[in-house]
């Protein structure tokens, strides 16, 4: 016969398990603060529950609090060393930080603990361990899709009734190949079949449509999730973002309000609200929310990141620079994202433009130049021959810094190849032309170059005097745009650039001829200088090329320059020098110096 104490303990355990189940649902609904309270109550009731510590760690991890999650997992291992999931959680933290070997050791320990016959875990529990290890392998900036998918399949083979493993498989497949939604969709549907009342897989399906820019379908699925569970807050947040993309701003705002109402008093929800306000370009309102949270003592690096983004969008580049410096000083390197570097690039470009329009306005008593309110680097003083002291200072090379930030962002995210072009443009502004060429080469080598990539590479290589590179780029551009005269003009520049004072090959001739052929009559009035350049080259060719010297034809082309009257220094040079030089002065021009068709 059971004693009253035994019955009481059994009831307490049942109550703690029910409380734990409710807390897990709160995590799924992004009610992280409420979930934390519930998990801690469950732990207080059963302090040696490895499961309670694990799900507390999961709650912290879901709320971007990896350090707190790591502490919870370690505590779970301490109080319940025979419970496998905390080893998987600890491995996930290490994998997120890039410690692959350390993570693998923890995953191996998780499997060993789950599979140990003495621990008597069910197939469902062992399969859940494999699933959590797979999730850990997908964490961080270098997900191991192959190993993760193998563990996911191992979990399914052992226990095919777990909807969570199909959700994870769908997520992994979609992250690995966002262009293929078929396979992820099949897994989300399988999860829905196994748990028809669970809104989570429906929300994942909706997010898949969102990522594919199919916003009407995304809204439809988020609505289906809300129909299943009207309290599932992530569905409102997701639908708000989809409505925003559809430019249905009133509906988006209403959904975000509902999300906040469901998460009343939640700091994490307010952080997400600040992010949403940024998304909908309400930068002032986003900054007000951030300030309110900061004033309330909330210290959150996501907020600091967002604050810098807001300030940058408002054109407050000095403030954004200061905020971003604070952010990078505090944020661990493994938590920095591509968008951080992209925005820092924008901030530096903004500062560069401010410097261009607001040059140094004063020098303080220490000899430091104050530029648009920012301190420029002081490099000492020199004296003029008359003894006057001159203060030397170096302006921060913001354009080059912007380019370096864009490169970092592009290297972190293969989908951001366009940032190689932004880096190249910034290097060009900094007159670092060889670096601009290198950035464009990276963009082209990354695969699927666009037509204008060859244009930019050619233009930057010309400016860098890398004429062989420029010539190759313009050859590609001309192949793709054979009817546009500019490609021929700039290839002519590259060919002419390869000539020296001692050796003139005249290899630019056919390209200048094509400039004349390809320029449309309606373009000539607005592009006289380019046409004049081609006419002038033709005149020089027939004047100076010893093998094809033809002074009547040379004069004919120079007279075309005079007739065109572009009003440039070249116009004046032809009129004042070439047409009056003794070699041409008394020459009768050819009646026809048109090009052969």
Q: What is the mean pLDDT of residues 22-31?
A: 88
pLDDT band at 357 (very low <50, low <70, confident <90, very high): confident
Q: How far is CA 130 from the centre of its chain?
A: 32
Q: What pLDDT, on the 0 to 100 scale, is given for residue 366?
A: 56
Distance of alpha carbon 488 from alpha carbon 49, whole angstroms: 75
pLDDT digit string, tens, across residues 177-220: 888 889 999 999 999 999 999 999 999 999 999 988 999 999 99
Q: What pLDDT, on the 0 to 100 scale, is given for residue 359?
A: 59
Q: What pLDDT, on the 0 to 100 scale, is given for residue 141?
A: 85
Question: Residue 391: helix, strand or coil by DSSP?
Answer: strand
Closest C-alpha to 405, from 500, 320, 339, 475: 339
Closest C-alpha to 272, from 246, 298, 251: 298
CA of 163: how far to CAs of 152, 160, 166, 182, 403, in Å?
A: 12, 8, 5, 18, 46
Q: How far is CA 226 from the centre of its chain?
A: 31
The percentage of residues in the chain with a pLDDT greater than 90, rounded to a whole number, is: 76
pLDDT band at 570 (very low <50, low <70, confident <90, very high): very high
Q: What is the mean pLDDT of residues 241-256?
A: 93
Q: Are 307 and 322 in contact (CB under 8 A)?
A: no
Q: What is the DSSP letter of 389?
A: E
- Residue 237 confidence (pLDDT) above 80: yes
Distance of alpha carbon 187 from alpha carbon 133, whole angstroms: 19
Q: What is the mean pLDDT of residues 122-128?
A: 95
CA of 151: how far to CAs of 89, 136, 157, 432, in Å?
A: 15, 11, 10, 49
pLDDT digit string, tens, across residues 152-177: 999 999 999 999 999 999 999 999 98
Who has greater pLDDT, 134 or 501?
Answer: 134
Distance of alpha carbon 592 from alpha carbon 570, whole angstroms: 22
Tokens representing residue 159 in the block: 């226990």
- Specify the residue for token string 């820019």: 213
pLDDT digit string, tens, across residues 303-342: 999 999 999 999 999 999 999 999 999 998 888 999 999 9
pLDDT band at 135 (very low <50, low <70, confident <90, very high): very high
Q: First and final CA of the chain: distance in angstroms?
A: 110
Percent helix, percent strand, percent coil in the chain, to nearest 5: 70, 5, 25
Closest C-alpha to 253, from 298, 292, 206, 285: 285
């Amino acid at each position: 016969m059971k004693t009253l104490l035994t019955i009481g303990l059994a009831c307490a355990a049942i109550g703690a398990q029910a409380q734990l189940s409710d807390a897990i649902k709160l995590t799924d609904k992004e009610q992280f603060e409420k979930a934390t309270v519930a998990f801690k109550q469950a732990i207080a009731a059963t302090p040696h529950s490895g499961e309670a510590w694990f799900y507390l760690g999961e709650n912290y991890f879901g709320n971007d609090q990896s350090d707190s999650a790591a502490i919870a997992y370690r505590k779970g291992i301490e109080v319940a060393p025979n419970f496998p999931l905390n080893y998987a959680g600890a491995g996930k933290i290490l994998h997120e930080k890039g410690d692959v070997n350390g993570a693998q050791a923890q995953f191996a320990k998780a499997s060993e603990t789950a599979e140990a016959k003495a621990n008597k875990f069910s197939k469902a529990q062992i399969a859940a361990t494999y699933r959590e290890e797979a999730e850990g392998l997908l964490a961080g900036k270098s997900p191991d899709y192959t190993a993760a998918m193998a563990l996911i399949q191992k979990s399914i083979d052992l226990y095919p009734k777990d909807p969570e493993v199909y959700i994870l498989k769908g997520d992994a497949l979609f992250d690995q190949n966002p262009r293929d939604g078929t396979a992820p969709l099949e897994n989300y549907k399988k999860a829905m079949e196994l748990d028809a009342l669970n809104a989570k897989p429906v929300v994942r399906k909706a997010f898949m449509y969102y990522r594919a820019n199919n916003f009407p379908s995304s809204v439809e699925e988020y609505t289906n999730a809300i129909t299943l569970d009207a309290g599932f807050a992530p569905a409102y947040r997701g639908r708000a973002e989809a409505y925003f993309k559809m430019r249905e701003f009133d509906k988006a705002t209403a959904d975000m309000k509902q999300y906040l109402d469901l998460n009343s008093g939640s700091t994490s929800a307010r952080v997400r609200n600040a992010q949403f306000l940024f998304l909908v370009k309400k930068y002032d309102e986003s900054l007000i929310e951030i300030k309110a949270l900061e004033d309330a003592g909330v210290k959150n690096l996501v907020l600091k990141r967002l604050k810098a983004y807001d300030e940058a969008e408002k054109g407050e580049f000095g403030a954004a620079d200061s905020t971003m410096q604070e952010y990078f000083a505090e944020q661990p390197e493994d938590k920095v994202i591509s968008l951080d570097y992209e925005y820092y690039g924008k901030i530096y470009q903004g500062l560069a433009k401010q410097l261009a329009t607001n040059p140094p306005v004063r020098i303080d008593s220490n000899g430091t130049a104050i530029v648009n309110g920012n301190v420029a680097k002081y490099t000492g003083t020199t004296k003029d021959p008359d003894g006057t002291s001159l203060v030397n200072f170096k302006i921060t090379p913001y354009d080059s810094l912007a380019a370096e930030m864009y490169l970092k962002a592009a290297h972190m995210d293969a989908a951001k190849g366009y940032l190689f072009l932004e880096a190249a443009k910034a290097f060009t502004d900094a007159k670092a032309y060889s670096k601009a060429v290198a950035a464009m080469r990276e963009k082209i080598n990354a695969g699927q170059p666009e037509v204008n990539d060859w244009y930019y590479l050619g233009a930057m290589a010309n400016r860098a005097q890398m004429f062989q590179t420029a010539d190759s780029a313009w050859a590609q551009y001309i192949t793709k745009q054979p009817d546009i005269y500019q490609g021929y003009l700039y290839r002519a520049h590259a060919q002419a650039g390869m000539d020296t004072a001692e050796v003139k090959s005249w290899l630019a001739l056919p390209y200048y001829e094509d400039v004349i052929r390809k320029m449309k009559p309606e373009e000539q009035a607005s592009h006289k200088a380019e046409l004049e350049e081609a006419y002038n080259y033709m005149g020089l060719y027939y004047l100076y090329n010893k093998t094809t010297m033809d002074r009547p034809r040379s004069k004919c082309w120079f007279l075309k320059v005079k007739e065109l009257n572009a009003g440039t220094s070249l116009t004046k040079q032809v009129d004042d020098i070439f047409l009056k030089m003794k070699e041409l002065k008394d020459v009768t021009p050819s009646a026809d110096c048109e090009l052969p068709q």
